[in-house]
Structures are given as structure tokens and as C-alpha cells.
Structure 1
Amino acid sequence: MASIEQIGTAPPPRPAKIFIRRHSVLTRITHWINVLCLTLLLMSGMQIFNADPQLHWGNYGAVEDPSWFEIASEQDGNNIVGRLRIGSLSITTTGILGASVVDGEMTPRAFPAWATIPSFQDLATGRRWHFFFAWLFVINGLLYVLYSLIGGHFRRDLLPTTKDVAPRNIWHEIKDHAGLRFPKGEQARRYNALQKLTYLIVIFVLLPLMIGSGLTMSPAMDAGYPFLLDMFGGRQSARAIHFITAWSLVLFVIVHVAMVILSGLWNNMRSMVTGRYAITNEETKR
């Protein structure tokens, strides 16, 4: 039989969890289609980049023209050395970028075979993969934006309030994220200010720049809409902007996945699969 001391020091029962509806069906479907599209767009995009692994500004960019970015390889005695160059800064990246193992041999190749679709060098096939999933990505994104505007998701969940964008609140949330302190209870029902601002930048800045610069690289689009070349400063500039925005999006995804894991992987995954997100009764009363 338990003693009085044991009863008095027993830990209090854990607060009961309740489930809230956090993501609609359409939000969840478009999210996972985006995951598929972005993965295959990145892999096919690296395949395309391998055909000319350097970036220029302006309208022209021949091999002999000076580039500001390059993933290249060079012969060092009997060895092949991979290098990543940004401006005058050069970094040895052998085994990952510039030179990687293909069929047991170190081979000159900008992005490694395991990261591209197809794994072997085939520009035409890479372009077909890229174009198909690019249009699927655009259609899926337009569907999400229309749903958000018409259904109230944008106004209700994504549009920052005056309180959200107050400098004191932004600074407070930056400190909370840096200290890995995430919203609980009632606060977990909605996006915080950093999430709202980040999603808006991705949706209305990064993605339009990436899509517009991608279209500008198409000679057929330039013939029909020549203003695209002026807007992006030339085809090579559009290619550079496309590369920068694509990898900025990759950085966003890395941070996003890290936050999902750190703030509760199972709870976040369940909310994006079933729509149900768990919070506690005790936390909602505070």
C-alpha cells in the first residue's frame, strides 16, 4: 500500500489532449504535390545545369566568357579535383561537386549522379522531366492561391496583423525560435508572425521569380513575350536568378523540415496527413 509521502509527491496527471483541425484537405493535397514536384524539379534541374555548369549576367554566356559562378573540375597530376567557384573564391569540393565517383571512377561532373534525374548525363530527358513537373507545380500553386483567396485561408491564416509585424513581437519570436521555444496551446492554433512572413515571401516573391525566370530561358516564350528578357536583364541573367531562387527555396525547405522535427515531428506530420493537430486542455485555458 502506498505511503502518505508517496501519495503526496505523486506527479500530477498529464493534461488531456484535444485535436483541432489545422489544415484543410486541399491544403494537405497541394502540400504533398509540392513536395513531389520540388524534389523532381531540383533533381532534373541539376541534370540540366550539368550541361553548362556556370552562370553569367546579361544575355550571352559562352564558355570563354567570364562567369561569376562555376562548378568545375581540373586535372591535378593523376587526380581529378572538383571545385566550386563564386567570384574569386574557389573551394575544393571533390567527391561532391565538380568531380564525383561514377561506376567506380572519379569523373568530371558538376552535380553527382545520385542527385540528378536521370543519373546519367542526358540533357533532353532532364528537360522533359523538368518541364512536366514545372507545369504541374504551377497549376498546383495556382489552385492553392485561388483557394486561399476565395476560401478565406489567406486572410485568416496567412495575412499578418498589425500586432504580428510589430518590431517587439518579431524580435520576441526570433528569440523564441532561436531558443527552440515553440507556440503551445491557443498560440499553436495559428501561424506565428515569422511563419506568415516567410510563407508570403516564398509564395509572392521567390516562386514568381523562379517561374518567371524559368519562362524567360525559353526561346519560344521570348519570341511571344519579348519583355521578359528586358524584365530579367537577359537570358543568362534569368538563368542565374532561376538558380539563386531555386536554391533559396531549398534553404527554406531545409529550415522548414528542421522546425517540423524540432517542434514535434509526429504531431506536425499527422496534421499534414489527417488535418488533426494535438494540443492540451490545460494549455488552452492559460
Structure 2
Amino acid sequence: MVVTHFLNIFFMLLLFRSGIEVLSAFPKLYWRDDCPPGREWLRLTKKTFSADSRKPWSSLEEEESWSPVVALPGHKNLGLGRHWHFMTIQFWIVTGAVYISLVFATGYWHYLVPTHWSIVPNSIKAIGTYLHFQIPAKIPGQPFEPAQKLAYFMVIFLLAPFQIATGAAMSPSLLARFPRSGKLFGGKQGARTLHFLGMCAFGAFIVVHVFLVIVHGLPKEFAAIVLGNPNGNRRLALGLGLSGLFAILLFHVIITWFSLRYRRRTQRLLGFMVDPFERVLSRVFTSRQHFSRSDISAYHRVNGYPPAGEEYERMARNGFRDYRLSVGGLVANPMTLSLDQLRALGERRQITKHNCIQGWTAVAEWAGIPLERLMAEVRPARAARYIVFYAMDDKGLTEGEGRYGYFYGTIPLHLAANPQCILALDMNGAPLPVEHGAPLRLRVETQLGFKMVKWITGIELVADIADIGLGMGGWREDQQYYANGAGI
């Protein structure tokens, strides 16, 4: 029990700080999945954007750079923040499972689980006693007074599972496979909001919990917490407890420095624990989304700006009549296709929800060629394992911030078999708009939006991604340290 209590403190601080880093990428909270600009119920930023703004804007401009003092690692490092968050959650769940097992194995659950509704009025009386600056009496034969017992029960058996459930409800792979499950929390934005409120509830509990530890007598409470015996050596308990807290603080200072100084190493190290889980999600689940036209968002955010340069602008002006898509690599039948030839391969229409890695969502209708159909035409070789999508977007010109190179993305070849994996040519019943990827963009509905490459100019099938770009599997993975799997 003592060990799991310490581990819980250790992992929860990691979850808090990394969760704040994730929130900084889109510091706005909604109840509705269409996320209309200006309609958020909570905005943790001074930046404002309008749906009818005359000046084009990208959702990347909504991102905030928060201090490493509160965010892990801070300074606009969404990719690394997600790595820390998803690595930690696995160990936090295991710690919780071990704790629950011990609670029931030792019979300690009698002290945590209320057996009568009288606990509620008794807890209210206990809170009133605290407000009168007095300490309420403990339940006869138990170590807690009523308010403590009820609070511990709610945190352990209700709030913790609630946080896990709302976190899972934000996974694009899970939402795509089980579209109705998202409605349990009012959609992804509802789950995101409730997850944030759950974090606040945990934070409030910790503040009150620490305050009551002090009120009840710090040396005695430290002996109970650290040694598992309120009558134990209080000096030893105080020394061990403060040393443990100092060690946690020092660990956070070191990992924050390391994450910011050695970002690629951090990405690789944490990826060993996070990437396998994401790959399993991506392989197991296929998208079964079927939204109605009434669900289509009135405003669909854009992430990034269209390609810069005269060549792309010229193609856009003439309706992309000169556009050609090259498909090659490890294929038996390399092809070069115009838009008309692409359309001749067949069409699939789908109304699906776009899940941006920043946190915003929007629903739109997409129409295009099933990627599986194109793969059947080019006939991938046995050695082919990945599909690489090259874009006309030079990020050194359209994004900057010290980043460089043409955008590209990769997906495992098996994702092409997903029936809702398409090369989109149309959006909401009209040709694909320039800002959303014209003339051609990828849609993989079990993945986050950064995997859905826009402004595609070429497709290559390869055996390995190590020699493409910087070898991490995509431009965002190379430059911003995102995970290559994007199912959560």
C-alpha cells in the first residue's frame, strides 16, 4: 500500500504536467464536436480567431508555448508531451490495478467502500465540523471520518475509472470503430472537457488531502503514509517522506531538461513503450463511421497553409488540369494518373469526423478513390510494407519556426485495406478546396489528422521508412517528434 501510494504521486504528477502540454496545443474547451471558433466554453489563451475572418489562419496559430515549470516538457512540444502522457498512463493503470487487488485481498476495502447511505449526511456533518475549525470524529472501528471515507471511495472507484474512460473516448481509432461510444460523453469534445474537469477534481482532492494531512498532524500522518504505521518512528518517516518528494521533484527537473535538450532521444526512448500500443490500435480497428449530413460542421478548421510557389498556384488557377499523380516504388505496375483517370478508378463517399492531434474536431463529407482500389492497380510487391505520401508543401516556406523540407507522411500498407481509407478529391459535395488539400489528400479515419497528407504529388511503396526524410515516418515525426502511430 505504501509503495503504490508513492507511485501514484509519482505517476500523477507526470500525467498532470504532460496533460497540460497536450492542452497547450489547443487551449480551448468545447462541448460540441464541430468546435466553432469563438464558441468555446473555456479559453486558456488570449488569442482569438473568427470563422469569418478575412485573413486566412491555421489552427497551428492557436497553439500556446507554456512554461516547462508546469508543462512537460513545455515550449510547444506536443509530440513529446503526448509521449510522456501515454507512457505514464500505462504504469498508472497498472499501479491502480495492483492497489485495488491489495485492497480486496487484505480486506482493506471495508475502510474504503461505504455500505450505507448514511455516509452522505454524515460526510456533510464532517465537512461542517471542519469549517468550524474542528476535527470530526472517526467512524467507530475505522481509520477515517465519514467525509474522508466517501472522498477516498469516489476518487479510487469513480474518478480514476472516469479519467481512464474519458481518455479512451478521445482515441480516433476507438471512436472510428465504435462511433456510438463517443456519445456516452457527448462526443470527443465532451470527453475532452470532462477529462479536463476530472484533472481539476484530482487537483482539488490533492490540495485538500495535503491540507488535512497537515491539520491532522504532519509527523503522525507521515508515519502512517510512509511507514504504514501511525505509531512508527516519526523522524524516520518525515525524513523518508521529504526525501521521496525531493527525489520526485529532482526527477522532473532532469526529465524536463533532458526532453528539451535531447528531443530525438526522448522520442525514441518513450516510443519503445508507446508505439507498440498505437500500432496495435491501428491494426485492430477499422472505421465504421456513418454520420448524417446534418452532422456536417459549418466551419472546418485548417491545419497549415497551402503550398507556396508559382507552380502550385498555376495548377490551382487552371483547376489542376495539368496535375499528375505518380505512384511507384515496390510495385509491379507503376502509374502516372491525371485527376480524370483517378476518378475513373471508382468513388467512395463518407461522412466522418476529423480528429486533429491538437484536439479539435470537425465533421465533413469526403469523396474519392478507395486506396485499396489504387493498390490493386499498381500491385505492391511482397517486400512492400509502407506507403509514403509526398506533398507539394515546402514547410520551410509555409510553416517556418526553424523547420524545413517538403511534407510527407507514411502509413502501414495494411491500413489501405480499411474501407474508409481513401484519396479524397471532393469535400462536402464540391471539389476539394485548396486549404483542405486540393487536388488530392489522404483520409485515414482511424488516425489523427497529421497522418492525412494534403496536396499529394506522389506515392511510393517501400519496405522500410528508415531512409525516408529523417527516418521517423513522417514530417511531423521528424520535425516535431510526433509518434508514427496515430491511433490515440
In the superposition, the TM-score normalised over structure 2's length comes to 0.41
Q: Is the 8 A contact 1:180 1:262 kept in 2?
A: no
How far is the alpha carbon of 1:269 from its aligned partner? 1.2
Partner of 1:152: 107
Q: How does 1:123-202 map to 2 (within 5 A)?
A: 123-155=78-110, 157-162=111-116, 165=119, 167=121, 169-182=122-135, 190-202=143-155
Q: Is the 8 A contact 2:14 2:84 kept in 1?
A: yes
How far is the alpha carbon of 1:166 from its aligned partner? 6.9
Q: Is the 8 A contact 1:53 1:70 kept in 2?
A: yes
How far is the alpha carbon of 1:115 from its aligned partner? 0.6
Partner of 2:353: none
Which amino acid is the alignment partner of residue 70 of structure 1?
R
Q: 1:53 aligns with which of 27, 42, 45?
A: 27
Structure exhibiting the larger radius of gyration computed from Cα positions:
2
**Per-residue deviation, residues 192-214 of structure 1 (Å, max 9, x unmatched):** 11111111111222212211111
- Report the 3-state secondary structure (helix = DSSP H, G, I; strand = E; otherwise coil) of the residue aligned with 1:114: coil
Provide the aligned C-alpha RMSD in A. 2.6
Pick the structure with more helix per residue: 1
- Report the 3-state secondary structure (helix = DSSP H, G, I; strand = E; otherwise coil) of the residue aligned with 1:73: coil
Distance of 1:241 and 1:185 partners within structure 2: 33
Q: How does 1:235-246 map to 2 (within 5 A)?
A: 235-246=188-199
* Stretch of structure 1 that moved more, 29-38 or 184-193: 184-193
The 3 A distance-change label for structure 1 pair 166 and 217 is: closer
Distance of 2:188 and 2:115 partners within structure 1: 39
How far is the alpha carbon of 1:272 from its aligned partner? 1.1
How far is the alpha carbon of 1:116 from its aligned partner? 0.7
Distance of 2:148 and 2:102 partners within structure 1: 19
Distance of 1:208 and 1:276 partners within structure 2: 29
Distance of 2:2 and 2:178 partners within structure 1: 35
Is it true that 1:37 corresponds to 2:14 in the alignment? no
Q: Is the 8 A contact 1:164 1:192 kept in 2?
A: no
Which amino acid is the alignment partner of residue 112 of structure 2?
L
**Per-residue deviation, residues 243-278 of structure 1 (Å, max 9, x unmatched):** 011111101100000101111111111211111103
Larger RCO (CA within 8 A; separation ≥ 6): 1
Q: Is the 8 A contact 1:60 1:235 kept in 2?
A: no
Is it true that 1:67 corresponds to 2:40 in the alignment? yes
How far is the alpha carbon of 1:222 from its aligned partner? 2.0
The 3 A distance-change label for structure 1 pair 170 and 239 is: closer
How far is the alpha carbon of 1:218 from its aligned partner? 1.2
Name stretches of at least 5 consecutive residues in structure 1 with no aligned partner. 1-26, 76-107, 280-286
Distance of 1:249 and 1:146 partners within structure 2: 22
The 3 A distance-change label for structure 1 pair 274 and 164 is: farther
Q: Kindly, what percent of the aligned residue pairs are identical?
A: 29
How far is the alpha carbon of 1:233 from its aligned partner? 1.4
Distance of 1:203 and 1:185 partners within structure 2: 20
Partner of 2:187: 234
How far is the alpha carbon of 1:159 from its aligned partner? 2.4
Aligned residues: 218
The 3 A distance-change label for structure 1 pair 277 and 163 is: farther
In the superposition, the TM-score normalised over structure 1's length comes to 0.69
Q: Is the 8 A contact 2:139 2:146 kept in 1?
A: no
Which amino acid is the alignment partner of residue 200 of structure 2?
W
The 3 A distance-change label for structure 1 pair 114 and 170 is: closer
- Report the 3-state secondary structure (helix = DSSP H, G, I; strand = E; otherwise coil) of the residue aligned with 2:134: coil
Name stretches of at least 5 consecutive residues in structure 2 with no aligned partner. 49-62, 233-488
